[in-house]
Structure 1
Amino acid sequence: MLLAAAGAAGAQNIYKCTQAGQVAYTDHPCPGGNGELLHQADDTEVIDRYLRLGQDALAKRYAESRHLEALYQQRVDAHQQAMEERAQRQTDDAYVAEQRQREAQQQALTDEAAERDRLQAENDALRQQNDQYQDQLSHPVYNPPPAYWGAPYPGRHDGHDGHDDHGHHRPPPSREPVFHPCKQLAGGRTQC
């Protein structure tokens, strides 16, 4: 039992070993004993390491072999508290992650609804504009006659009533509106 405890203490030590010009750090003494001890493990570190590895029985045996029962109980209590705190943190982190996921899903649904509403409004506006174009195309366009229709023809003299200079009969100018058919062009434009 003492040999196991001594091995555990040695496992916590840190040695700097130099072999063939290469430097290595290890938890075992250097071969030939020609190394440098950088860190000497204390009893608390040894017990804590055993507890972290889940080797509670070895930690207890190590403490009993050195009559460190009080230190062992203190380290067990601290280890248990650390485990409970870690479990609580994991639970809290999982809850926060779940809340964030729900918020992200809700935001995605809100964004989707807003985009759907925007597209619907844009579609309604385009339909209304198309209805206006169709309404405009369904009504004939009446343009007043050009101003020169009521003016005398070139060469007309006041004494020639209804005839031009060559004696031909000229129809009277019309005051009725003239219908000009329109046609629809690409891009919603109209040409009359």
Structure 2
Amino acid sequence: MAKSNYFSIKSLVAVGIGSALFVILGRFGSIPSGIPDTNIETTYALLALIAVLYGPVAGLLVGLIGHTLKDAIFYGSPWFSWVIASALVGLIIGFASGKLKIEDGQFGAPQIVKFNIYQIIANAIAWFVVAPSLDILIYAEPVNKVFIQGLVAGGANIVTVAVIGTLLLIAYSKTRTKQGSLTKEV
């Protein structure tokens, strides 16, 4: 996708579908972690896929809208510190979209490493720093509790995105024609 065209119809449709899938996976693709109010989420692999394919704005919007809807539907109201963290994950991973060349059918070892560096940074910032800090500032939650939740959520999200997200991107890249693989007959 062209970097200058973040708000195309295609991107808006991806945000809508991605947000809906975020809600569904948040409900049916979550595994309890044993830490209160903290699950192992498959939603972040989907968020990473959307962010890489459609860029940082789409990633931010899917994280923001999807997490807000999920919390509102299943818990009664959004937990905004974690909604903001999800949006941040989508935004940061989305910045990798132009560097991975996945649309050119390339997603080998170098791109996998780049993708995982971005997603580790995104999840670390969002879950080890932003979510716990906002929990304290917005909701006056206990410091020990929120940092344990953040460490568990962040660690689980890093692993989930590394495994499922990488597999999704590999599968997607195989549907693209590799750049330079077609030759013109004269």
The TM-score with structure 1 as length reference comes to 0.24
The TM-score with structure 2 as length reference comes to 0.25
- Structure with the higher helix share, 1 or 2: 2
- Structure with the higher strand share, 1 or 2: 1
Higher relative contact order at CA 8 Å, sep ≥6: structure 1 or structure 2? 2
Answer with 1 or 2: which has the greater Rg.
1
